[in-house]
Structure 1
Amino acid sequence: MQVIADRAEAPNAIRSDPGALFVSLELSRSTWLITSLSPGGGEKMSKHNVPAGDICALLARFSDLQRKAFARTGKSFPIIVIQEAGLDGFWIHRVLQKEGIESHVVDPASVATSRRCRRAKTDRIDGEALVRTLLAYKRGEPRVCAMVKAPTPEEEDRRRLCRERKVLTNERVLHVNRIKGLLFSQGVSGYEPLRRDRRQRLDELRTGDGRPLPPHLKTQISRELDRLELLIEQIKAVETERDALLEPAVKTEGAPAPQAMLLAIKGIGPEFAAVLWSEGLFRHFDNRRQVAAYAGLAPTPWQSGSIDREQGASKAGNPRLRTALIQIAWLWLRHQPQSALARWFQERVRRNGGRLKKMTIVALARKLLVALWKYVSAGVVIEGAVMKAVWR
């Protein structure tokens, strides 16, 4: 039997006089939906559409909302805007802040939703939910949502080098595998497209039954090699820009820059140092829990009554930083075998009978991230870590 709780005489979920204009933006490629709750307008939320990307129409709508609120109450109210982090990035957030409007970007996964199997979802419903979330956030309710800290344009542009290199590297792998697959269908194996003599070796190849490569197949592979060589040159150019970005930090006199401190650790090269710094360690964190949560390496417990188990890493943070840390953790065991973290890993694996190495490496990655954060932020040297003599 369904039980309906008694309702209060006056609804108090939404304040009748919020003291500001609370606005949410539902962004799409064609239109932007503006949902607003105005002082003196009761509990009803108004909704308006403007063309996507039309900042002038958006600001004009905000001015119209302020004018109507002033006509109802005789007072001027500030505007507080919320939007979800997504494909539009942070340029709208920066425009609003430049206009003197308080703007917030929320992690959409942190906004509470219905747990029904088939829940209703429309832009109008999502817009109202964002306004209610913003109201609760401004009231000071704890953990009502997770607001995103927008990076500066310089910080956002700086991390593009590592991301571009990753995209180019993945594309290079695709071309290499395609060339090997084409040759394997003719009984040819052992050809390495990344070798410098790839063109010469292609002319010398014979099929499994002793024939020269068919002319159209050879032409196709040649075009694949053209694209592959272009990718190789682009990767070199990106790496040159990356090293040029790290070089001023290495040559800084006095207190070493964080990038130079990371490069001084044995086992961390220019690429990993750039990823660690540009993707995470440039930010300010209050404690180690925030550091682990940002990388998605925080534990996820499941406790209810007699049930108490661990679900593993949350994977709710920066995926690029998390992937790099897992790779660094494996390299740490090779290059820093006498460090306290490596000894902890070996002891943990020994107690498990040599099993669960993949699970333990995730725990090592979390510990290593916290140790690196303490190292670059407070200068706390990692126990037992070996430093490089000179980095060139």
Structure 2
Amino acid sequence: MKILAIDLGKFKSVACRYITETGKSDFLIVQTHVFSFEQLLSKESPDLVVIETCSIAGWVHDLCCHHGVRCDVANPSNEAWKFKNIKRKTDRDDALKLAQLAALEQLPTVYVPTPEIRQRRALLKYRQSLITRWIAIQNHLRALFQQQGVLLDRGHRAWTETGLLAIEQHVKPLEQCGPDELWCGEVALELQAFKSICQQLQQVERKLDVFAKTDAKVKLLRTIPGVGRCTAEVVVAYLDDPQRFTNGRQVSAYAGLVPKQFQSGETDRRGRITRRGPSLLRKMLVEAGWILLRHNLWAQRLVKRLSRGQKTRRKQAIVALARKLLVRCWAMLRDGTPWCDFLPLPATT
């Protein structure tokens, strides 16, 4: 069996040609480009291609599938892949280790979604980055006005049409600002960036709204009281095929919502959540957890039971609620069933 293990780089990649029957290996350097990889696959005709998960792993995997070559994508965060107590680590070492682990069938692989799902995830991440920049500009504008002793309206009112008109009264082109009014030019630049980001957000939201209206999975998750379009589309995009998970524990571990564990002899210590997997999925689930407290009786009872009425335990209870919400979303997508409150049966006398 011929294994072609490739350590991907931005400009050049190192490929290891490994023959499992003899254990012999040799290396070659290839440009990280579609045409160069096509030439490599045509020349080598490998039985298996192994790569690490990274930003460019998607198109490399698609290219291998297009040429009818099996491609495994390794998870470098897995303990089996980590290099410990070594004096040297090179691209050749990485490629050779990929090949050796694949030959031993001990390579920790990851699920690779379709190109359409990857594009959807990328758009969701882009929306989140726009929101982050949008909030950062709002905070910067508030800080500029506070430094000058001018207070803006509280909360969202500062960013309504009336609030923006009040901000525009202090706007002045930077090239026309004197030494004592440079902050007005800074406000002008930040306000321009703020309006631009708002327009970009509107375009992204319109596109995502079109997807949500035609996606049956998103409509199914929106039957949960307190779960809106944004949370539903993120859960659908990241869970993708619910059949790839065997049970709820795997779903929780995928989102990084399970506690870290250290066990040795009689010691069995559990810590904070692992935070592995997609951070956007965890963020949306935790935010949804706070909203569910106002609209979902099941969530209210669960948080009350887990927090035991103590305010100091409320945040931990919300994280636990996010995990349970994800598991129920997975079960709904797997079975195609709408939300049910699971109200307890009345006591019989």
TM-score computed with the length of structure 2 as normaliser: 0.86
- For the aligned residues, what is the CA RMSD? 2.6
CA distance in 1, matches of 2:136, 2:96: 44
Q: Partners in 1 of 2:182 and 2:322 — Cα distance? A: 48
Contact 1:176/1:193 (8 A) holds in 2 = no
Query: Structure 1 CA distance, aligned partners of 2:190 and 2:318?
Result: 37
Partner of 1:186: 148
How far is the alpha carbon of 1:113 from its aligned partner? 3.0
Seen in structure 2, the aligned counterparts of structure 1 residues 358 and 92 have a Cα distance that, compared at 3 Å, is: same
Check conservation: 2:224, 2:339, Cα contact below 8 A: no
How far does the alpha carbon of each residue in 1:20-70 deviate from its partner, in whole angstroms, 9 at most, with x for none? 101110111221101111266x333101111221534x444455546xxxx
The residue aligned with 2:71 is: 103
Partner of 2:237: 278
* 2:23 matched residue in structure 1: 43
Change (3 A) 1:146 1:243: same
Shift of 1:187: 1.6
Distance 2:240 2:259 in 1: 20
Aligned residues: 332
* More helix per residue: 2
**Alpha carbons of 1:100 and 1:380: their partners in 2 closer, same or farther (altered >3 Å)?**
closer
Q: 5 Å matches for 1:150-169?
A: 150-169=112-131
How far off is 1:237 after superposition? 1.6
Partner of 1:10: none
Aligned partner of 1:224 among 190, 194, 197: 190
Q: Residue type matched to 2:148 in 1?
A: Q
Q: 2:111 aligns with which of 143, 149, 157?
A: 149
Q: What is the CA–CA distance in structure 2 between the aligned matches of 1:347 and 1:381, rounded to whole Å?
A: 25
Alpha-carbon distance in 2 for matches of 1:270, 1:54: 36
Q: Which amino acid aligns with 2:121?
A: R
2:239·2:330 contact (CA, 8 Å) conserved in 1?
Answer: no
Residues 231-253 of structure 1, C-alpha deviation per residue, up to 9 Å, x if partnerless? 1121112111111111223xxxx
Residue 55 (str. 1) matches residue 35 (str. 2): yes
Task: Call closer, same or farther: CA 1:368–1:308 in 2, change over 3 Å.
Answer: same
Structure 2: stretches of 5+ with no match in the other structure: 172-178, 344-349
Three-state SS of the structure 1 residue aligned to 2:326 is helix
Letter in 1 for 2:238: E
For 1:321 and 1:373, how far apart are their aligned partners in 2? Answer: 13
- Equivalent position SS for 1:286: coil
Give the structure 1 partner of residue 319 of structure 2. Answer: 362
Distance 1:33 1:362, change over 3 A: same
Pairing 1:384–2:349 present: no
Distance 1:270 1:203 in 2: 33
| Structure 2 residue identity aligned to 1:165 | R
Indicate which of 321, 329, 335 corresponds to 2:289: 329
Per the alignment, residue 115 of structure 1 pairs with: 84
For the residue of structure 2 that corresponds to 1:109, the secondary structure is: coil
Contact 2:242 2:334 in 1 (8 A): no
Structure-1 residue corresponding to 2:328 = 371
The residue number in structure 2 matching 1:349 is: 307
* 1:345-371 Cα shifts (integer Å, max 9, x gaps): 2022117x4432222222221111111
Map Cα deviations across residues 334-353 of structure 1 (whole Å, 9 max, x no partner): 211x22x43132022117x4
Partner Cα distance (1:366, 1:33) in 2: 40
Contact kept? 1:107, 1:147, Cα under 8 Å: yes
Aligned equivalents of 2:162, 2:68: Cα separation in 1: 60
In the alignment, residue 30 of structure 1 is paired with which amino acid? F
Question: Percent identity among equivalent residues?
Answer: 26
Tell me which of 273, 284, 289 is aligned to 1:313. 273
Distance in 1 (CA, whole Å) between partners of 2:342 and 2:201 is 31
How far, CA to CA, are the matches of 2:130 and 2:325 in structure 1?
28
Q: 2:217 & 2:107 partners in 1: Cα distance?
A: 31
User: In the TM superposition, what are the counterparts of 1:175-214 in structure 2 within 5 Å?
Assistant: 175-191=137-153, 193-202=158-167
Aligned equivalents of 2:221, 2:38: Cα separation in 1: 45
Pick the aligned partner of 1:259 from 200, 214, 218.
218
Aligned partners of 2:4, 2:272: CA distance in 1, in Å?
37
Q: 1:46–1:220: structure 2 CA closer, same or farther, 3 Å change rule?
A: same
Which of 103, 121, 134 does residue 102 from structure 2 map onto?
A: 134
Asked whether 1:171 is paired with 2:137, we answer no
- Report the Cα offset of residue 135 of structure 1: 0.8
Tell me: CA distance 1:230–1:126, structure 2 relative to 1, closer, same or farther (3 Å): same
Distance in 2 between residues matched to 1:55 and 1:39, nearest whole Å? 27
- Distance in 2 (alpha carbons) for counterparts of 1:196 and 1:44: 69
Cα distance in 1, alignment partners of residues 278 and 337 from structure 2: 24
